[in-house]
Structure formats: C-alpha cells, structure tokens
Amino acid sequence: MNAIRQIRSNINIVNGKATSEWILDADISRCFDIIDHGVLLDKIPAFRQTVRRWLKAGVVELGNLIVPRRGTPQGGVISPLLANIALDGMERLFDIESRTGIYKPPSERSGCNRGVSLVRYADDFVVTVPSRDVLATHVIPAMETFLCVRGMNLNMVKTRVVHREEGFDFLGFSICQINRKGNRKCLVTPSKNSMKRLLGKVKGVLNGNKQAKASMIVELLNT
C-alpha cells in the first residue's frame, strides 16, 4: 500500500494545486521474457553462479524442457526478484534517490526532474509529472534508453499517457482525481479486474461447497 499512498500524495490537490497532473502508465513489453542475462548478472557479482543456474534451469512446458537464453521463467518464484534487480537504478534517472539510496522529494530537485515522481513495484511502475511536455521530451526518452540497455522496451500499445482526472489502474487499484461540489481529491478504489477476480473466487468457493459450514466457507475465502 505504500506505493498507492505515494501516488495518491503525488496527484492530490494541495492549496488548490496538484503536484502532478500527468501520468505515464507504463508497460514493459514481455519483461520477464527478454531480460538480458549478462546485464542482470553484472548487477549481482556476489551471487553470479547461483543466479546463472536459476536462469539456465529452464521450465517444462507441455512436457518439453525449455532452456531460455534470455529472460526469466514466467511465474517462477525468483522472477519478480530478478526483474527488480534488473530495473534497479530507474529511480536515479530522475534524481529521485541518490546512489546511496537517500530519497529526494520532487520539490528539491532541479531542471526537468523537478516535480517528477516514479513509483515502482517490480516491473510495474508509473511516473507522475507536472506537465505533458516533460513526459514527451524527458521522461519517456530517458526510460527507453534505460530499458534498451537491459534488453527491454516499453510496450507502446499498452503504455498510456493520462491526465489525473482520466485515471489509471495500478497494482489492482483504480486511481483518479474527482471533483465533487468543487472539492477535488484523489479517489482510490479496487479496479474492475480486481473486483471481477474476487467475485469469481467467491462464486467458485460457494458453488463448490454448498453443504459446508459457514466457518469453512470463511476460511476458504480467506486463503
């Protein structure tokens, strides 16, 4: 929830103004499939052999062993961690944190980085900025260069530039700015896809356990 709280803080109205009006709702094209192994291994020299074995272990798909030359196994327990390592440094693109990991508030940065905020969870991230021009001339080009070095690229079909009033989905939540009787604020609600998955789970549990006790139903729904 810290990621959602940070985004809410970025686009909330303070003294009649929002620090960020525009959002880059980014999607990395086939992130887990195309991570460059060499770049990834260079970032973790102390564990190179262990990680190399993970990367070369392969997966069994329809009875066939597939050994990837690049990327990480989709759905593997180690894949989100490896993606996180591969994307380390993204925050420093916009002077959001120092090389020692110290966070710098948007108002304390200078030039094009002033007012830019990036919130990332593994390979899911959004960038909030004061103006659309900053996205077009600074943020997106810097992001494309950063990803290219790692063998990745933005999926321009799924990547969107949206205004805070239009809203966007992130980590299972829908986030947008609303205006009620002249009072503008950031609204965070479960996304439609999240609600659909939850209702599908509830329906499946209820249909499959019609004779079960209420306590068992509750336990199944909470797992």
Over the stretch 115-129, which tens digit does the pLDDT of each residue have? 888 988 878 889 999
pTM of the model: 0.76
Q: Closest Cα partner for 131 from 19, 27, 25, 26?
A: 19
What average pLDDT score do residues 89-110 get?
79
What is the number of domains present in the chain? 2
Mark whether 215 and 175 lie in a shared domain: no
Mark whether 148 and 207 lie in a shared domain: no
Confidence of residue 65 (pLDDT cuts 50, 70, 90): low
Helix (H) or strand (E) holding 61: strand 59-61
Q: Closest Cα partner for 90 from 7, 171, 28?
A: 28
Mark whether 127 and 217 lie in a shared domain: no
Does residue 64 surpass a pLDDT of 80?
Answer: no
> Any idea of the CA torsion for 173, 178, 180, 185, to the nearest 10 degrees?
80
State residue 177 phi and psi, 5-degree precision.
-100, 135
Does residue 75 surpass a pLDDT of 60?
Answer: no
Mark whether 115 and 216 lie in a shared domain: no
Least trusted range by pLDDT, from 12-26, 128-142, 155-169? 12-26
Mark whether 138 and 207 lie in a shared domain: no
pLDDT tens, residue by residue, 149-169: 888 889 888 899 999 999 999
Does residue 58 surpass a pLDDT of 80?
Answer: no
Mark whether 100 and 165 lie in a shared domain: yes
Burial class (CB in 10 A: 0-12, 13-18, 19+), 138: middle
Mark whether 183 and 216 lie in a shared domain: no
Q: How many CB atoms lie within 10 A of CB 57?
A: 13
Mark whether 32 and 131 lie in a shared domain: yes
**Residue ranges making up the domain that contains 39:** 3-190
